[in-house]
A and B are shown apart, each in its own frame.
Chain A
Amino acid sequence: AQSVTQLDSHVSVSEGTPVLLRCNYSSSYSPSLFWYVQHPNKGLQLLLKYTSAATLVKGINGFEAEFKKSETSFHLTKPSAHMSDAAEYFCVVSDSGSGNTGKLIFGQGTTLQVKP
């Protein structure tokens, strides 16, 4: 069965410093992995998606994530945080493969705080 674990429930950075949100996954198949972002009082939005092409995936708003099979990780990074990046971030794995439905399995979420 597929699962995903976000290693930090809360991350706090200063504006202009790098962001690292950590995610580990468990999957019996070649996984599809995603990061979604939820800004306050707004719906979740797809940030980026990995589907077995390039291991370094670039998303919107300067975010990127690197798929590392040996470490079963899919950490989200950004070189320089902006105040508008403050939000909740979800790492997600799809259970597609071997006849599964492509259902999304969400991590517990990481709240990113950006201090001025």
Chain B
Amino acid sequence: DVKVTQSSRYLVKRTGEKVFLECVQDMDHENMFWYRQDPGLGLRLIYFSYDVKMKEKGDIPEGYSVSREKKERFSLILESASTNQTSMYLCASSDTGLTSNEKLFFGSGTQLSVL
């Protein structure tokens, strides 16, 4: 089974802190994604990556950056956390190919609270 592991299940940070959310997948997938999930809004794409050292903005990239130095690891960075970034963050991966992007394998999520 594909496993996507997010390093923390719950995280509490203070406004202005730099926050790192880590995600690791074990199936040699090319593509990795970061979403945030908010009640009533579904999932919204923050950033994604189709290759090592490659990144593309999703629908809501403001206030976030990402890093993909190794194929299996995709990090989401909040440069200066704000209260409106309190959310559930979901990492996902998928294999190569346009339609393969459509079957995503998700981690269990990190619930981030910014106080």
Binding site for B on A (CB under 8 A): 9, 32, 34, 41-46, 49, 51, 90, 94, 96, 101-104, 106-109
Bound CA span A102–B96, Å: 11
| A102 contact set on B, CB distance < 8 A | 98-99, 101-102
- Say yes or no: A44 contacts B99, CB within 8 Å: no
Binding site for A on B (CB under 8 A): 4, 35, 40-45, 48, 58, 90, 92, 98-99, 101-109
- Say yes or no: A96 contacts B42, CB within 8 Å: no
Query: How far does the Cβ of A3 sit from chain B's closest Cβ, in whole Å?
Result: 11
Query: How far does the Cβ of B36 sit from chain A's closest Cβ, in whole Å?
Result: 11
| B92 contact set on A, CB distance < 8 A | 44
Query: How far does the Cβ of B27 sit from chain A's closest Cβ, in whole Å?
Result: 14
Lowest 9 CB-CB distances: which A-B pairs, in order? A43-B106, A106-B42, A106-B43, A102-B101, A44-B106, A102-B98, A108-B42, A43-B108, A94-B102
- Say yes or no: A42 contacts B108, CB within 8 Å: yes
| A108 contact set on B, CB distance < 8 A | 40-42
Query: How far does the Cβ of A108 sit from chain B's closest Cβ, in whole Å?
Result: 5
Query: How far does the Cβ of B24 sit from chain A's closest Cβ, in whole Å?
Result: 13
Bound CA span A49–B107, Å: 20
- Say yes or no: A90 contacts B106, CB within 8 Å: no
- Say yes or no: B104 contacts A46, CB within 8 Å: yes
CB-CB nearest in chain B for A44: B106
Query: How far does the Cβ of B26 sit from chain A's closest Cβ, in whole Å?
Result: 14
| A107 contact set on B, CB distance < 8 A | 42
Bound CA span A102–B102, Å: 7
Bound CA span A43–B45, Å: 16
Interface centre among A41, A94, A104, A107 (most CB of B within 10 A): A104
- Say yes or no: A43 contacts B102, CB within 8 Å: no
Query: How far does the Cβ of B53 sit from chain A's closest Cβ, in whole Å?
Result: 18
- Say yes or no: B90 contacts A44, CB within 8 Å: yes
Contact among B43, B48, B101, B109 for A90, CB-based, below 8 A: B43
| A49 contact set on B, CB distance < 8 A | 102-103
Whether A96 touches B99, Cβ cut-off 8 Å, given contacts A44-B90, A90-B43, A108-B40, is yes
